[in-house]
Structure 1
């Protein structure tokens, strides 16, 4: 695999938040199983004002990658549920997606799971779209098998941007975000991060695309 591109400076990130055409099911495959880029990227798509987030983990995900740390999630209100099996994650997500009071539902499943087939993901996508609740499924240590998810991403962490006021302090995070399958827009790969002024997610430097194509994809 080619090495990750050097992060662009903060000023290079456009103030453009990549919006899904409607709430639906999206999948994220971390390139390193325990990379925190995946949940950070999913949360960056959400508006805390939309309501609490139901976060469902199977036992192996919680053991290997850790539980969410609410004080580190900013203004996001979190409802955390740990279950034993991937099929339990699917059941809990489906129930949560029927609750219009939730801002989103995030599920984490470790490894390949027979229960996570095309039919199961189709049910999640349709339920998300019917009730207007975004669904994000994080697939750790798993290959991208057949799925009905409307967007499918590969995520990895990049070196953080430099902190302008203190070179020794950690800067804002950056991610390598590859959209390798999508229903409503063309695939592509970007250096993604939070816009330094608005704080919203921005797909910045487009890897392997010229400027006109990058604008068309994120519009």
Structure 2
């Protein structure tokens, strides 16, 4: 199976600098606002560098059943290694093995629902292994609230109305997402409108979204 994650580009000065070339490889988590939303894997892929090597994508059984497999024709031409396993603990094991392979361009794991195996110790092992071998890791947590984790970045992601198409207002436009970085080790939390550059396929953060005082307190707690 082959397909290509979009490359990323420098973000505006007040947005998180997300390009693969500028980011230290580590473990990041995404919590989609709507469990089966396809925005989560698209957001993760936009942070990976296709030139580094194939992406190892691991899904547990429920993630595969509820969201389907990656769809190669819609995503380009870079090699992807897809693996389906039964349980969250199997996703962790496969991710840890993949993160030990510097030839990979990244590792993505999808887990559905609350998973006791994904505790602080397990996620810390993934973060340290990612950083030690220089392979970025993304963990997509569907249908579960955030729990204690050692992930260096933790995102909430939701879909927004798409950009309008100038030539045909009835046509579907480029997708936009409400991207909230609610916990981070090396940057300040915040919320942005994120999407792909209309002139290309790069990920950009168009502008910051104001946060209520209670939300800001929660994000920095």
Q: Under TM normalisation by the shorter chain, which class is it?
A: 0.7 to 0.9
| Unaligned runs of at least 5 residues, structure 1 | 1-12, 210-219
Corresponding residue SS for 1:109: strand
Query: 1:164–1:50: structure 2 CA closer, same or farther, 3 Å change rule?
Result: farther
Query: How many angstroms apart in 2 are the aligned matches of 1:57 and 1:150?
Result: 21
Does residue 1:73 correspond to 2:75, yes or no?
yes
Q: Equivalent residue for 2:18? A: 18
Equivalent-residue separation in structure 2 for 1:185 and 1:106 (angstroms): 22
Secondary structure of 1:96's partner?
helix
What is the CA distance between 1:198 and its match in structure 2? 4.3
1:143 Cα offset (Å): 1.1
Aligned to 2:204: 202
1:41 pairs with one of 15, 36, 43: 43
SS of aligned partner of 1:171: coil
Give the corresponding residue for 2:194. Answer: 192
Matches within 5 A, 1:47-196: 47-196=49-198
CA distance in 1, matches of 2:109, 2:198: 28
Q: Is the 8 A contact 1:55 1:81 kept in 2?
A: yes
Runs of at least 4 residues of structure 1 off by over 6 A? none
For CA contacts below 8 A with separation 6 or more, give which structure has more relative contact order.
1
Q: Deviations over 1:39-97 (max 9, x none)?
A: 11101111211111100000011011111111111233211000000000000000000
How many angstroms apart in 2 are the aligned matches of 1:82 and 1:37?
A: 20
Q: Give the Cα–Cα distance (whole angstroms) in 2 for the partners of residues 37 and 47 of structure 1.
A: 18
2:34 to 7, 32, 35: 32
Verify the 8 A CA contact 1:14 1:195 in the aligned structure 2.
Answer: no
SS at match of 2:210: coil
Q: Tell me by how many angstroms 1:21 deviates.
A: 3.7
| Consecutive unaligned residues in structure 2, runs of 5 or more | 1-10, 212-221
The TM-score, its normalising length taken from structure 2, stands at: 0.85
Say if 1:33 and 1:141, in contact at 8 Å, map to a contact too. Answer: yes
Aligned length: 197
Deviation track 1:145-201 (CA, whole Å, cap 9, x = no partner) reads 000000000001111101223322221111000000000000000000112234311
